[in-house]
Amino acid sequence: MKKGQVLEGIVEKVEFPNKGIVRVLDEDGTVTVKNAIPGQRIKFCINKFKRGNAQGRLLEVLEQSPLETRDPVCSIFPSCGGCMYQTMSYEDQMSMKQQQVKEILDAAIQGDYVFEGVKASPQEFRYRNKMEFSFGDEFKDGPLSLGLHKKGSTYDVLTASDCMLVHEDMTKILMCVLQYFQERNVSYYKKMQHVGYLRHLLLRRGVKTGEILVNLVTTTQEEHDLEPLKEQLLGLQLEGKIVGFLHILNDSLSDVVQSDEIRILYGQDYFYEKLLDLEFKITPFSFFQPNSKGAEVLYKVVREYIGDIDNRIVFDLFSGTGTIAQILAPVAKKVIGVEIIGEAVEAAKENAAHNGLSNCEFIAGDVFQVLDEIEEKPDVIVLDPPRDGIHPKALPKILDYGVEKIVYVSCKVTSLARDLAMMQARGYEVVKCVAVDQFCQTVHVETVVLMSRVNPKK
């Protein structure tokens, strides 16, 4: 094999998160090709070959997999890289994710443990409460588009006119906004030249409440009258209700959704969502699990794994907007949440007060530094770190507490596996774990692990 060579092969398996292991036809060896489904016969181009490890780029699916038993549910599949597995049955998707997670954990965990499989999302489609759409064009100098990036491209944007991950209310809003700016021939921001106006449309909708926050992100390079757009949005026939329309100004050079200034064009700059009998106020940029009903499944697992915490102090580290902390607070002596994003901490404090919880404390700062400043000692620790896992300097401090139980919630099982090595070396064993599928049709899956100290402190 050599770089640039075009080959054909059969996808034997897919390793987490989307690495297809392809047996090459008429050649010895295998090649890793992303974005494939087990059983497909594909054509691919070798783009990396080093020390016997070959990686390829998918060019074409020559024969569908026996697992592909459904027709695509949206018009931009498979060009859009979001819903890789929508042609597979949901049962087969979960089975594949279960196998991926178990293989990684089996290699990382010492000794016996109980693997409880994968729990399904209550909703297979239209489950997302948040979506970031980009403005652009589908091809160079084409008409304005609004939606999701084409698979493998940082420039081409496919209009998401029938995305099945979001509620129909979001689709109606997206098409209204797109048509408004198409009719006025308004420019989009070109990230190489750093010129243009339209950047992103950030939509957030409470699955339980139906409250919708519309966030239009632009540069300050042009001025446009958004009053008619506001009237058109408020006139849409929606199942839910728009409670806020915000104009977010962002002149940063990088292609990220962030704010230099927020202007409220209608209503308020927040909406409410409900989880497990609690209500949460969510602002444009505050973190919240994107699958509300799936999050309830996830947090029930956390509550079950953590067990009896009556009269116990719980540390919720990497606490975000304090969702886990507030779900545990009614049955704990006290919960202390630590989160580096200040806005999330303020939201957590406000939500705890709103829910009548007086035994929650939230601290803004880096876990590595904040742990030195907290006087209380935890009895139980919950970890819910970002995708990259826990910083290697912070993890030893966490383990120094020597608590009897640690519950680790991970959105990237390979990061979890890396952290498990140190945790096991420091005297913890894995009791049980389960995968929770919050991201149906996609390559992602959550994992929850219960760890127990082998020789707990007296």
Active-site annotation, residues: 411
Cis before 122 (ω within 30)? no
Classify each residue of 326-356 as buried b or exposed e, where b means 16 or more C-beta atoms within 10 Å of its C-beta: bbbbebbebbbbbbbbeebbebbbbbbeebe
What does the alpha-carbon distance between residue 199 and residue 258 come to, in Å, rounded to a whole number? Answer: 10
CB 11 within 8 A of CB 31: no
Instruction: Return the HEC string of the chain.
Output: CCCCCEEEEEEEEEECCCEEEEEECCCCCEEEEECCCCCCEEEEEEEEEECCEEEEEEEEEEECCCCECCCCCCCCCCCECCCCCCCECHHHHHHHHHHHHHHHHHHHCCCCCEEEEEECCCCCCCCECEEEEEEEECCCCCCEEEEEEECCCCCCEEECCCCCCECHHHHHHHHHHHHHHHHCCCCECECCCCECCEEEEEEEECCCCCEEEEEEEECCCCCCCCHHHHHHHHCCCCCCEEEEEEEEECCCCCCCCCCCEEEEEEECCCEEEEECCEEEEECCCCCCCCEHHHHHHHHHHHHHHHCCCCCCEEEEECCCCCHHHHHHHHHCCEEEEEECCHHHHHHHHHHHHHCCCCCEEEEECCHHHHCCCCCCCCCEEEECCCCCCCCCCHHHHHHHCCCCEEEEEECCHHHHHHHHHHHHHCCEEEEEEEEECCCCCCCCCEEEEEEEECCCCC
Q: Which of 86, 33, 158 is nearest to 443 (CA)?
A: 86
What does the alpha-carbon distance between residue 423 and residue 425 come to, in Å, rounded to a whole number? Answer: 5
Cis before 284 (ω within 30)? no
Cα separation values, 422 from 258, 306, 307, 393, 418, Å:
35, 21, 24, 11, 8
